[in-house]
């Protein structure tokens, strides 16, 4: 494991001790709706999609079932990979899953039309190498689409009250549009970088139940989610995600 990793594999194995329901995530939850809306801008039927840090496989299940994509998932949690495989079996879906350290991946370069990750790169003190790996695995003309939680603003302040330990495994220095863009510009595709906030407000970046009764926390989450549903315009400071979108140039043969 590389030295700048802010988490251990054991941390992620603990996240995958309970099997998920063998169904797609509900669009009742604003965060799910908004993330799928983001992916909808890029995925077309037959596209080859790679998800780095794919467990428990729900995003790739959606990409297969709703977008007819050809999907591959990689995760360095063995438990996470087993759950992802189980989910696909239960839902009668086809996908390819690898338990690997992405820094030593056996996946060939220039393979995928779209390489995605959600909540991965912020767990490294220096994410420049893993950003570059996203791009190396992307076909010329393809897109690397990376999202991270927006803990640089109001969500970070709330999480610091409800679950400050969780913030310790996140690189908070990168959680602004300006900082994320500076990090992305370290790679060789500087002219093809977009960084922006995404999504309506929703409760799932803040671990409310750490401090208050679970039933009350659930009620607050539902009400907060409803606020996201009726939010009339995009407000950057309330957006729970930061998006790094990098287009790999088409190679010109001479």
Return the domain boundaries, the chain.
Answer: 23-247
Query: Closest Cα partner for 36 from 52, 24, 19, 45?
Result: 24
Does residue 170 surpass a pLDDT of 90?
yes
Distance CA 134, CA 115 (A): 6
Q: Distance (Å, rounded) from C-alpha 252 to C-alpha 254?
A: 6
> Average pLDDT for residues 57-65, to the nearest whole number?
98
For residues 24-44, give the mean pLDDT: 97
Taking only the tens place, the pLDDT of each residue in 74-123 is 999 999 999 999 999 999 999 999 999 999 999 999 999 999 999 999 99
Q: What is the pLDDT of residue 1?
A: 39
Task: Extract the tokens encoding 219.
Answer: 């009620």
Query: In a 10 Å sphere around its CB, with 0-12 CB exposed, 13-18 middle and 19+ buried, how is residue 159 labelled?
Result: buried
The class of domain 23-247 in CATH terms is alpha beta
- What's the rounded mean pLDDT across residues 212-222? 95
Task: Name 108's bridge partners.
Answer: none
Q: What is the pLDDT of residue 124?
A: 93
Alpha-carbon distance 243 to 42, whole Å? 13
Name the one residue in this structure whose structure tokens are 């194995």: 13
User: Quick one: how far is CA 170 from the chain centroid?
Assistant: 13
Cβ contact 109:76 at 8 Å: no
Q: In what side-by-side order are the strands of the sheet with 241-247?
A: 96-99, 70-75, 48-52, 112-118, 138-149, 241-247, 193-198
């Amino acid at each position: 494991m590389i030295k700048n990793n802010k988490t251990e594999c054991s941390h992620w194995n603990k996240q995958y001790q309970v099997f998920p329901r063998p169904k797609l995530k509900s669009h009742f939850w604003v965060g799910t709706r908004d993330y799928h809306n983001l992916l909808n801008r890029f995925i077309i039927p037959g596209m080859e999609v790679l998800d780095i840090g794919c467990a428990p496989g729900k995003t790739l299940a959606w990409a297969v079932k709703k977008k007819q994509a050809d999907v591959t998932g990689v995760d360095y949690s063995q438990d996470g990979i087993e759950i992802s495989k189980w989910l696909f079996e239960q839902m009668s879906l086809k996908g390819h899953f690898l338990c690997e350290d992405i820094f030593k991946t056996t996946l060939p370069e220039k393979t995928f039309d779209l390489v995605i990750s959600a909540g991965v790169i912020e767990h490294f003190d220096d994410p420049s190498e893993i950003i570059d790996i996203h791009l190396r695995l992307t076909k010329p003309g393809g897109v690397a689409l990376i999202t991270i939680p927006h803990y640089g603003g109001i969500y970070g302040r709330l999480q610091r009250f409800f679950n400050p330990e969780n913030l310790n495994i996140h690189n908070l220095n990168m959680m602004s549009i300006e900082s994320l863009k500076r990090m992305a510009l370290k790679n060789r595709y500087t002219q093809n970088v977009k960084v922006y906030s995404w999504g309506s407000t929703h409760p799932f970046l803040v671990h409310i139940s750490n401090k208050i009764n679970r039933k009350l926390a659930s009620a607050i989450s539902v009400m907060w989610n409803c606020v996201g549903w009726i939010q009339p315009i995009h407000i950057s400071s309330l957006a729970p995600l930061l998006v790094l979108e990098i287009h790999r140039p088409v190679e010109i043969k001479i």
